[in-house]
Amino acid sequence: MKIILITMMLITIIAVVCQGQPNTNTTVQIGIVNMQLTKDYRIFTEIKEDSTASRLVDGMDYLDPDVSDLDITDQLINPYVIADTTFWDYEYPDVTFARYAKGGLVQVDLVTLKYSSLTASDWVVTDSIEPNSAGFIFRKK
């Protein structure tokens, strides 16, 4: 019994100690308030190294200029509902510097196939991981 208990404690300690960085992704919460059953929603996201200009502009037609390459709707899974808002979580991999992410939403009528202008969010700053500035040598002597 002591051996099992010691083994389980050792495994727990190893699991905790071996966690390099606790989070290597920035999770963004995407929400749509008051979704309608007769509508489809297209969600767009853009990530850049600066927040000076964006391809996603509030009020734009998403097909002119075409930003359909930024559409992540099919990548969003496992929605959850809080009150009247449907949410999804979307992850950006972290790099050694902060980046900026921006989202956009277009509503499409399923009967007429007409779509709304794009509603754009503000920029969100992503997390970053610790850069490694140390040199490293690994060689046979």
| 44-89 pLDDT per residue, tens | 999 999 988 999 999 999 999 999 999 999 999 999 999 999 999 9
Sign of the C-alpha dihedral computed for residues 69, 129, 52 and 28 taken in this order = positive
- pTM greater than the 0.85 cutoff: no
CATH number for the domain formed by residue range(s) 24-125 = 2.60.40
* Residue 39 to residue 108: CA distance in whole angstroms: 6
In the chain, domain spans: 24-125
Note the pLDDT tens digit of each residue in 82-138: 999 999 999 999 999 999 999 999 999 999 999 999 999 999 999 988 888 888 889
